[in-house]
Amino acid sequence: MSIALGIALTTASWQRNTKCDKMTTCYNLLLLLMLSWVCDVTLAAHLPKGHNSRPIIGILTQEVVDDVMKPFGKTYIPAAYVKFIESSGSMVIPVRLNQTLAEYEKIFKSINGLLFIGGAADLETSDFARDAGIFYKLALKANDVGDHFPVWGTCMGFQLLTVLVAEENLLTKTTAENLAFPLNLTAAARSSRMFNSFPPDLQKALSREPLTGNFHHYGIAAETFKGNEKLERFFSVLSTNVAENGVEFVSTMEGRKYPFYGVQWHPEINQFEWDRSMTIPHSENAVRVSSLLGQFFINEARKSSHRFATPKEEEAALIYNYTPMYTGNFTGYEQVYFF
């Protein structure tokens, strides 16, 4: 029972009972307030440490490189990523490129997790890569002092995480364009945080059914990953797949120490992209995979206590201030946010 509810109940009781004198009413009000305080304290004591019921995920925007998209903005976020996050129980803010370090530090302290999306940007020289590197270092520093902050990378975002950790670009040709795969799960996947909430039947389906949509030309070869001490020390490999040219590549990974997660495939498309020319998994199990991974990432974000300084600042930053544009008639995305 909250204090506000206690006051409301007492007021209602006073209005109903005209024989109740002021002294009795004040006594009842005091008693209810005390009970409310005890209930609130007890409830707070049983909530998970760092529990956040209003998580906010920042999605780093990406430069527009496709000529057909250039008339609409300089940077963008495909709406499927936003829906993926929102449908999992979180709000979203777009993180613009080319802001100052002070601005990024302020944003970092206001959000509870960060998503690096897929796309086509240079992973060493682009604004996207540079600004992602700033947040990567902020996240490392925060987690080192117990300030839980998760980072997720999808497709190119996955590749970017390997570049940031290895401090060099180790990507190679691993073309898997417009293909859906089952995952070759490793022994580490069984005890992983990422797949821990998957029921046994879905874990089995994930390794047998083509539930993961792949749209990439480069990746990190499994052999290269194993031969790099920095990557091996930082990430556990949860799954691999084989590219069209026969190269085995890492398709899923999670941080050993840090709450950093990466998928070379696209979980967001299973629910929110419908281009008939694309091999996008839409089966019941494919949707379950997408839903559970989204919920997992948001539950990680709930452990973060970061928040905006004021509700007004939060409202001004949310992606609700922008309207996605229908682009399904000239791009592979159903909808895109342009900035």
Give the C-alpha separation, 288 to 240, whole Å.
20
Q: What is the DSSP letter of 118?
A: P
Is residue 306 part of the annotated active site? The answer reads no
Give the C-alpha separation, 338 to 331, whole Å.
13
User: Of these residues, 148, 155, 216, 306, which one is catalytic?
Assistant: 155
CA atoms within 13 A on the CB side of 40: 12
286 and 292 in contact (C-beta within 8 Å)? Answer: no
329: amino acid identity, one letter: N
Give the C-alpha separation, 305 to 303, whole Å.
7
Give the C-alpha separation, 7 to 30, whole Å.
9
User: Of these residues, 51, 148, 216, 266, which one is catalytic?
Assistant: 266
Give the C-alpha separation, 270 to 87, whole Å.
13
Q: What is the DSSP letter of 189?
A: G
Give the C-alpha separation, 84 to 152, whole Å.
12
Is residue 266 part of the annotated active site? The answer reads yes
Catalytic residues: 155, 266
